[in-house]
Amino acid sequence: MKESKMKVMLIASPATSAERYKNNRVIEHFFPIGLLSLATFLKQNNIETEVADLQIYCENNMVDYLCGLNEDSFVKYIDNHLLKRVGDYKPDVIGIGCLFTGAFSGLKIIAKRIKDVFPHIPIVIGGIHPTLFAEEILARYDFIDYIILGEGEKTFLNLLNCIKNKESLHSLDGIVFRHNGQIIKKVKTRFENSLDSLPFVDYNFLNLEDYKSDKSSWYSPKEIEIGIPFPIISGRSCPNQCSYCSMWHVHGKKIRFRSADNVLDEIEFLYKNFNASYFHFMDDNLTFDKKRTLDIFQGIIDRNLNIQFDTPNGTSANALDDEIIDVMVKAGLVRITIAIESGSQDIRFHSMNKYVTDDKIYSAAKACAKHNNLFINAFFMIGMPEETHKSLNETFKMIKELPLDAFSVFYVAPYPHTKLFDQCSKNNLISSDISKYINAENLQHANDKPIFKPYNLTEEDLIKFRNKCYNYLKEMRSSSNLPPNYPLRYKHEKIILEKRK
């Protein structure tokens, strides 16, 4: 008699954030790339898998919840739709993805309602937030059974086999679970080094029509239809370990790459089979290896792939030069984000552990600005413990001097297990009680106001400075007579501007 397959349902929890909405209109539907990667790997290993992306369902039905306004509506939606889907599919295990901190509020609601109705189904969660708070989450929420630490393909598969065969979990790597009333944490020590061995993401788990949204306002210098943007992750992790960054807890301290040919094969597959013409390169450190970077983007040119792409997660100025920028633009780069973080070299070096010189930042920006059709965005962070009026002024000076088309200024958030969190706790800048940060709201409001104040500044100092920056950006953009997504150096038949010096 043929053995039946295990059945798994993977659920993407929605992120409660108003940042992705303007006038109650969704800017973009993002693919749950982590869960899709996991689902594809499970399918390859003979596990029957279904993916439910609640981000899409919630966006289409109740934008108010995603702006953090209506939890009751979300519960009703789960009860009326998701629970029926679970009952019809009858999964052996349910996995819930929580990539960002803002998705944890929704995850708790989803997990509790499922456990209330289907108490026999094990619930597994994973993502950045659960990885950082794993032991605290299991101690507080009994409706969550297991937490996968970091990248989860092999750990999740091994967990499924243990559940199916009723075997001990103590030999697993990168998992947290309960045993005899105790919380057991098996630290993540093994990471996938052969990334080319992993299958390309299978988008057939989803209805791609759900991911279409209005792209008419998007910048498209090639004047080709944007369609549905697809994410590309060409490598995992970043070796720099900046003091504020928690990402290496998920992907480990060692950067690992897919080969250039493997990345190009995936892009070409999506280009030919899904009519993909726009891509997001989502790497934490895309251009770390110069030769590989050149091979990827020269490969796009050599394969005659008529595409456009951007780098929304931020690119290190250390890795940008004329040669890199020139080939990326020729391959289709239309929007680059440079992760500058601070205009003060002293803050970058001694507070952030981010060793990028002022000269390198200016030279990288100059290399970008040579291209009139390249939109240049930048990330800045304010409020490190050592921040002063002098360092803030240096940041504003850099903002004004760089050839930027847009920028974002974020308040620093002290995520647990980072050097910044330890420093803030030691010096009583924040509470050292990690449990206060489990439920995300204490970290999530960093979009609105500082979580802590520096040694020599007030909260009001930071708020005023951020407003000053955004007022400058508003004035700069409004005086250009250009659409919001167009670079200030852009030249068009009806729009001719003097190139910024």
Q: Is residue 483 part of a domain?
A: no
Whether 232 contacts 260, CB under 8 Å = no
Is the predicted pLDDT of residue 303 greater than 90, yes or no?
yes
Whether 131 contacts 46, CB under 8 Å = no
At residue 148, φ and ψ (nearest 5 deg) are -90, 130
Question: CA of 205: how far to CAs of 53, 158, 197, 335, 375, in Å?
Answer: 10, 22, 20, 29, 33
Length of the chain: 501
The residue with tokens 């992790």 is 237
Query: What kind and span of H or E run contains 53?
Result: strand 48-53
Q: Are residues 182 and 221 in the same domain?
A: no
Query: What kind and span of H or E run contains 17?
Result: none
Residue type, 436: K
Whether 490 contacts 497, CB under 8 Å = yes
Q: Are residues 182 and 225 in the same domain?
A: no
Q: Are residues 231 and 140 in the same domain?
A: no
Measured CA to CA, the distance from residue 95 to residue 100 in angstroms comes to 15
**Confidence band (pLDDT; 50, 70, 90) for 433?**
low
Please tell me the total count of domains within the chain.
2
Q: Is residue 378 part of a domain?
A: yes
Q: Are residues 153 and 221 in the same domain?
A: no
Dump pLDDT digits (tens) for 46-57.
999 999 999 887
Measured CA to CA, the distance from residue 417 to residue 350 in angstroms comes to 19
* CA dihedral (415, 417, 418, 421) positive or negative: positive
Is the predicted pLDDT of residue 323 greater than 90, yes or no?
yes
Alpha-helical segments (H) within 216-311: 248-251, 260-273, 290-302
Q: Are residues 172 and 289 in the same domain?
A: no
Dump pLDDT digits (tens) for 140-198.
999 999 999 999 999 999 999 999 999 999 999 999 999 999 999 999 999 999 999 99
Stretch 268-273: mean pLDDT: 98
CATH number of 228's domain: 3.80.30.20
| CA triple 296-302-306, angle to 5 deg | 90
Whether 469 contacts 409, CB under 8 Å = yes
Q: Is residue 206 part of a domain?
A: no
Query: What kind and span of H or E run contains 158?
Result: helix 153-165
Neighbouring residues of 501: CB distance < 8 A, sequence distance ≥ 6? none
Question: CA of 496: how far to CAs of 488, 490, 499, in Å?
Answer: 10, 7, 9
Give the Cβ contact number of residue 454 at 10 Å: 22
Is the predicted pLDDT of residue 88 greater than 80, yes or no?
yes
* Least confident among 63-67, 218-222, 236-240, 278-282: 63-67
Q: Are residues 223 and 317 in the same domain?
A: yes
Q: Is residue 200 part of a domain?
A: no
Query: What kind and span of H or E run contains 21?
Result: strand 21-22
Q: Are residues 106 and 246 in the same domain?
A: no
Which residue, 206, 328, 233, 224, is CA-closest to 278?
224
Of 167, 186, 205, the last residue of a domain is 186
Q: Are residues 148 and 269 in the same domain?
A: no
Which residue, 433, 451, 430, is CA-closest to 442?
451
At residue 369, φ and ψ (nearest 5 deg) are -70, -15
Q: Are residues 136 and 228 in the same domain?
A: no
Q: Is residue 285 part of a domain?
A: yes
CATH number of 151's domain: 3.40.50.280
Dump pLDDT digits (tens) for 373-395.
999 999 999 999 999 999 999 99
Domain of 75, in residue numbers: 7-186
SS (H, E, C) 97-155: ECCCHHHHHHHHHHHHHHHHHCCCCCEEEECHHHHHCHHHHHHHCCCCCEEECCCCHHH
Question: CA of 71: how far to CAs of 77, 99, 342, 363, 477, in Å?
Answer: 10, 20, 37, 48, 36
Of 186, 202, 232, the last residue of a domain is 186
Q: Is residue 207 part of a domain?
A: no
Is the predicted pLDDT of residue 482 greater than 90, yes or no?
no
Q: Are residues 78 and 123 in the same domain?
A: yes
**Confidence band (pLDDT; 50, 70, 90) for 321?**
very high
Q: Are residues 164 and 220 in the same domain?
A: no
Q: Are residues 134 and 275 in the same domain?
A: no
Q: Report pLDDT for 23.
A: 43
Residue type, 499: K
Beta bridge mates, 9: 50, 94
Q: Report pLDDT for 27.
A: 57
Whether 220 contacts 334, CB under 8 Å = yes
Q: Is residue 492 part of a domain?
A: no
Residue type, 153: E
Average pLDDT of every residue of the chain: 89
Percent pLDDT > 90 in the chain is 73
Q: Is residue 489 part of a domain?
A: no
